[in-house]
A and B are shown apart, each in its own frame.
Chain A
Amino acid sequence: MKRLSFYFGIGLACLARPAFAQQREMILPVPQSAYSQAVKIKGGTLVFLSGVGPADEKGVLAAPGDFPGQVRATWENMRRVLAKAGGSVDDIVTMTVYTTERRWGEIFTDMRKEVFKTGYPSSAFMEARKLKTPGALLEIQAIAVLKD
C-alpha cells in the first residue's frame, strides 16, 4: 500500500506542470549610466516590442522640442505596451535607444535610473538621422522576458 501511494505521488508530481523559477542575472552593471553590460536569463516568455516613441496611441507627439518631456512620455508609452503584453518595465532585458542628437545621452541615462528599480537591462545608445514620428527626439526598441 505504501508503495502504491509512492507511485501515485510520483504520478501526480509528473502531471503538475513544472514551474521553474526564472533565473535572471545582471552581468557587470554600470549604475552611473543605468545599464548592465549583459543580462543572463533562463526561462520565461519573450516579448519583442516595436520601437516606442513619445507619440501616444493616436500618434500625437508629446512635448515637442523638450527632450526630458519626451523621455517621460516614451516611458509612459512603454509601460502601456508592456502592460498589454502582461508585463512591466522591470521585465525589459535589453534595449536599443535611438536619438536624433547623441549629446542627450547623459540626460537619458540619468532619467533611466528612475525607471528601473530591480536591476538595469543591457542597452545601446546611438544617433539616428531621423525617427518615424515627425518631431520625435528618441525611440526605444526593447525586448522583455516575462516571468511565467
Chain B
Amino acid sequence: MECWSMKIATLLLPICLLTITGVSSGQDFKKEFVDPMPQDSRSAAVKVKGGTMLFLAGHTASLPQGNAEHGNFEAQFKRVFDKINTTLSQAGATFDDIVTMSVFLTDLRYIPEFNKLSKEIFKKGFPAVTFVEVSHLARPQLIMEIQPIAVIP
C-alpha cells in the first residue's frame, strides 16, 4: 500500500510542477480587441492578460544627424514606423504586439491619411489610438510623433 501511494505521488508531482510553471511562464497570455473599428483603424480598447510590457519612447522622423526626413506626410509616416520597427525588433516584438499608441500631430487633418497608411501596418487587429494636435514637436520639420505601448506574448 505504502509503495502504491509513493508511485502515485511521484507521478503526480511532475504534473503539478508543470501546471504551476505553465501558468507563470506566459502560456496564459490572452488578448482581445474590444469594439474594433476597422473604418477608423483602431479599437475602442485592447484587453491583455500576461505577457511582457514594452513602453516605447515617442518616435519621430528625426535622423541620427539631427535633421528630420523632409517631404510629405507619407514619407514621415514610413520613417517613423521604420524606427518603431527597429525598436520593437530589438525587444523581440512586432507591430502586431502594439496595444495602444498616442499619436501627436501638428495638424489633425492628417488623420484620414494616417488611418489609411495604418491599415498596411496592423494586419491582425488595430490597437487603441489617441490623436492629439499639438502646436510644436521637438523639431520644426516634424509633423508627427508616435508613442506606443506593446505587450509581447
Q: Which residues of A contact B (CB under 8 A)?
A: 1, 3-4, 7-8, 10-11, 14-15, 17-18, 44-51, 81-82, 84-86, 96, 98, 128-132, 139, 141, 143, 146, 148
Pairs A–B under 8 Å by Cβ, sample size 8: A4-B8, A44-B49, A46-B47, A47-B48, A50-B129, A51-B131, A128-B133, A129-B133
Q: Nearest chain B CB to A136's CB is how many angstroms away?
A: 11
Within 8 A of A (CB), among B46-82: 46-49, 53
Within 8 A of A (CB), among B118-153: 127-135, 149, 151
Q: Nearest chain A CB to B62's CB is how many angstroms away?
A: 21
Q: Please tell me if the beta carbons of A46 and B132 are within 8 angstroms of each other in the complex.
A: no
Interface centre among B15, B44, B135 (most CB of A within 10 A): B44
Q: Nearest chain B CB to A90's CB is how many angstroms away?
A: 16
Interface centre among A4, A18, A50 (most CB of B within 10 A): A50
Interface size for B (C-beta < 8 A) is 44
List the B side residues contacting A8 at CB < 8 Å: 8, 12
Q: Please tell me if the beta carbons of A14 and B19 are within 8 angstroms of each other in the complex.
A: yes
List the B side residues contacting A1 at CB < 8 Å: 1, 5
Q: 7 nearest interchain CB pairs?
A: A14-B16, A51-B130, A4-B5, A130-B133, A48-B100, A7-B9, A50-B128
Docked Cα-Cα span, A84 to B134, in Å, equals 30
Q: Please tell me if the beta carbons of A47 and B134 are within 8 angstroms of each other in the complex.
A: no
Q: Nearest chain B CB to A132's CB is how many angstroms away?
A: 5
Q: Which residues of B contact A (CB under 8 A)?
A: 1-2, 4-6, 8-9, 12-13, 15-17, 19-20, 23, 30, 32, 34-35, 42-49, 53, 99-100, 102, 108, 111, 127-135, 149, 151
Q: Nearest chain B CB to A117's CB is how many angstroms away?
A: 22
Q: Please tell me if the beta carbons of B45 and A85 are within 8 angstroms of each other in the complex.
A: yes
Q: Please tell me if the beta carbons of B5 and A7 are within 8 angstroms of each other in the complex.
A: yes
List the A side residues contacting B102 at CB < 8 Å: 96, 141
Q: Please tell me if the beta carbons of B132 and A139 are within 8 angstroms of each other in the complex.
A: yes
Contact A45:B34 (CB < 8 A) given known A10-B12, A132-B108: no
Docked Cα-Cα span, A7 to B45, in Å, equals 44
List the A side residues contacting B135 at CB < 8 Å: 129
Docked Cα-Cα span, A48 to B129, in Å, equals 9
Q: Please tell me if the beta carbons of A85 and B12 are within 8 angstroms of each other in the complex.
A: no
With A47-B46, A50-B100, A96-B102 known, 4 other A-B pairs at CB within 8 A are A4-B1, A4-B4, A50-B45, A81-B44
The one of B4, B34, B108 that contacts A85, using a Cβ cutoff of 8 Å? B34
Docked Cα-Cα span, A17 to B87, in Å, equals 35
The one of A45, A47, A84, A141 that contacts B130, using a Cβ cutoff of 8 Å? A141
